[in-house]
Structure 1
Amino acid sequence: MSEKMPVAPALRQTGLTFAIGALGGTLFHAAGLPASWLAGAMIFVAAAALARVPVELPNRMRDGFFVILGLSMGGGVGPDVVDRIAQWPVTMALLAVTLVLVTGATYVFLYRFAHWDRESAFLGAIPGALSFVMAIAAERRADQARIAASQTVRLVILVAVLPLVITSTASHGSQSAVPAVFPGWVEGGILLIACVAASFLAVRLRVPGGWLTGAFFMSSAINVTGVMPVALPQWILVPCYIGLGCFIGSRFTSTTFGMFLGMLKASLGAIVVGLFVSLAMAWFASVLVGLPFGQLLLAYAPGGLEVMTLLSFMLNLDPAFVAAHQLARYISMVLLLPFITGLLLGRISNESKSGQN
């Protein structure tokens, strides 16, 4: 949301966006759909954005939602997390294979069948890390609008589809998503302050998804040690789910309906290809190590770190496992992508660099 917008119009825009998201979440929840508050709000706000309705939330409100959600997600990390870490090296190795296969298969589709140019196809095939990919795309003069739109469509469809896929399997979690014991007001205040401080530090250190991951790791550490209960009631969590759905859906504010239809075919094809590879690798890893298929699918899915981790919590899976794997995927891409891009697509000439200045 523009910082220069007057207060009254900004409040009206925020209220309208949240009202649309709340309507979508309510209808999805009434229909009994999984991750209903998040997915319903996202789809309704995305539709409103494509219809040119002015929908957007302030960035500070989004950050606040992330902190609260990260705090609550820590309640899903039990003391047995240390024992489960022994399984992670195998699944991390399979994650690396999945990342290569998803990127390669999606690139082939976008380049050979959707007829994108090589640079746009390669960068559009990268699973997640949108801001980092866009920085490289700008430097290489790739089609930034096409890449951003493709990545956004992928995230929206994953959030809408993955909960349905996971809940249709036999192993998608059976424990209550929210523990029965909630912290008191004093404990809750201490917990909130600690999580806000951890989020602020994570953002300063440029940790991916810092506002959510900082609070998540702090609350996880507190919950594992048993110092105090880590949980929030649904009347606090539901508005945060709606708010995050509104934020994702509002990414379409700069996309016209014609543009959306034009890129939908290529985007859907790329999603199907990448998701098929992720499904196959998640199934293989599940059989190999005996972990729930849905948990591995969220860990391997080509979506955003914050959203995939949140879905694992909402679907009663292991958020620590999903967060660790999504974080490893993001960090590996940040470290290796510039070198791999230069190797596969060639270095940028000095003339091209000077032309951008």
Structure 2
Amino acid sequence: MALELVIIIATTGWMLSKVFKLDPGTAYLSSFPGHLSFVMGIAASGVGNARQIVIIQVIRILMLTIAVPIGAVFLPIDHFEPPVATAFLSPVQLVLLAAGCIAAGLVFKWIRVPAGMVLGAMAAATAAKLGGLYTESMPGPLVIITFVLTGAMIGSRFVGITRSEFIAAAKGGLIATAMTVAIVTIVTVGVAQVVDMPFGQLWLGLSPGALEGMGALGIALGYDTAFIAAHHVIRLLMLSFAIPAVVWWVRRRERLPPP
């Protein structure tokens, strides 16, 4: 996974810098597969063009969200019938579970775990499930509302961006996303030769971002979601160290006199 991240960041960052003439800060911050809030926080401090970065990053998330389920139909992935829910959480259980997830998320955020609210909530819900505190499923309407709000959140990232600005950055975002998906697929093919796991499960675990989407798709396809989530946690932890290192390199490079 570490090698995969290095290849993705190096190649897509180089492409955005050389082909689309983006400054190094914008190019390399746009190339990171994940940690959008962290990346945007750094961009807000004056590294790179925040508008272009958010377009490219959101394009990546959007394309992954759209393309991965379609790819799951055509790629050589073993399909499993998803389990059919027969019992659902009661209102009291939902409130208690939500409170536990929020508390765990705040703790994770306080100790500076990447994507703390998401990972903290996942950890709390998983612990409660494995501990036998509940066995029921989430109510269908609540799941639908959650997906709608997720889509609205992604769309809100485009507020205030002009059409010309969007098109210019979107071209780079599409190519960068295609390169990233190709790299992940090649790496997954190699890993699948030495690891006895379904190709789809490996791909979802090594996918460049969209933690929630990959987890949801893993559940739908019957894969080991713990495996998928663990790899995404490792990816986010690696990015926590990689992003500051690359920013330091970019700033140092910008301070150097031209040859």
TM range (shorter): 0.7 to 0.9
Residues 173 and 317 of structure 1 are in contact (CA less than 8 Å); yes or no, is this contact kept in structure 2?
no
* Amino acid aligned to 1:329: R
CA distance in 2, matches of 1:103, 1:145: 19
Aligned length: 255
Matches within 5 A, 1:188-337: 188-337=94-243
- Aligned equivalent of 2:29, options 123, 129, 149: 123
CA distance in 1, matches of 2:11, 2:146: 35
**Gapped runs of 5+ residues in structure 2?**
none
Matches within 5 A, 1:155-174: 155-174=61-80
- Aligned equivalent of 2:17, options 111, 116, 119: 111
RMSD over aligned CA atoms reads 2.5
Measured at CA, do residues 208 and 312 of structure 1 come closer, stay the same or move farther in structure 2, by a change above 3 Å? farther
Measured at CA, do residues 174 and 103 of structure 1 come closer, stay the same or move farther in structure 2, by a change above 3 Å? same
Write out per-residue CA displacement over residues 6-57 of structure 1, whole angstroms, 9 at most, x where no aligned residue.
xxxxxxxxxxxxxxxxxxxxxxxxxxxxxxxxxxxxxxxxxxxxxxxxxxxx
Write out per-residue CA displacement over residues 188-226 of structure 1, whole angstroms, 9 at most, x where no aligned residue.
544343333223323333333333322211121222233
SS state at 1:252 partner? coil
CA distance in 2, matches of 1:253, 1:177: 39
Write out per-residue CA displacement over residues 149-180 of structure 1, whole angstroms, 9 at most, x where no aligned residue.
11111111111111111232343551425543
CA distance in 1, matches of 2:156, 2:230: 27
CA distance in 2, matches of 1:283, 1:192: 39
Measured at CA, do residues 255 and 295 of structure 1 come closer, stay the same or move farther in structure 2, by a change above 3 Å? farther
CA distance in 1, matches of 2:134, 2:178: 43
- Aligned equivalent of 1:102, options 8, 11, 15: 8
Residues 107 and 121 of structure 1 are in contact (CA less than 8 Å); yes or no, is this contact kept in structure 2?
yes
**Gapped runs of 5+ residues in structure 1?**
1-94, 350-357
Measured at CA, do residues 183 and 147 of structure 1 come closer, stay the same or move farther in structure 2, by a change above 3 Å? closer
SS state at 2:179 partner? helix
CA distance in 1, matches of 2:119, 2:47: 32
CA distance in 1, matches of 2:254, 2:164: 33
Measured at CA, do residues 108 and 180 of structure 1 come closer, stay the same or move farther in structure 2, by a change above 3 Å? same
The residue that corresponds to 1:147 in the other structure is 53
CA distance in 2, matches of 1:139, 1:190: 38
* Amino acid aligned to 2:131: T
Measured at CA, do residues 191 and 137 of structure 1 come closer, stay the same or move farther in structure 2, by a change above 3 Å? closer
CA distance in 2, matches of 1:130, 1:189: 29
Q: Could you tell me how far 1:96 is from its partner in structure 2? A: 1.0
CA distance in 1, matches of 2:170, 2:92: 50
Matches within 5 A, 1:43-62: none
Q: Could you tell me how far 1:280 is from its partner in structure 2? A: 1.1
| TM-score (norm: length of structure 2) | 0.85
* Amino acid aligned to 2:142: I
Determine what percentage of the aligned residue pairs are the same residue.
Answer: 29
Once the two structures are overlaid, the 10-residue window that deviates more, 104-113 or 272-281, is 104-113
Measured at CA, do residues 236 and 143 of structure 1 come closer, stay the same or move farther in structure 2, by a change above 3 Å? closer
Q: Could you tell me how far 1:183 is from its partner in structure 2? A: 4.1
The residue that corresponds to 1:90 in the other structure is none
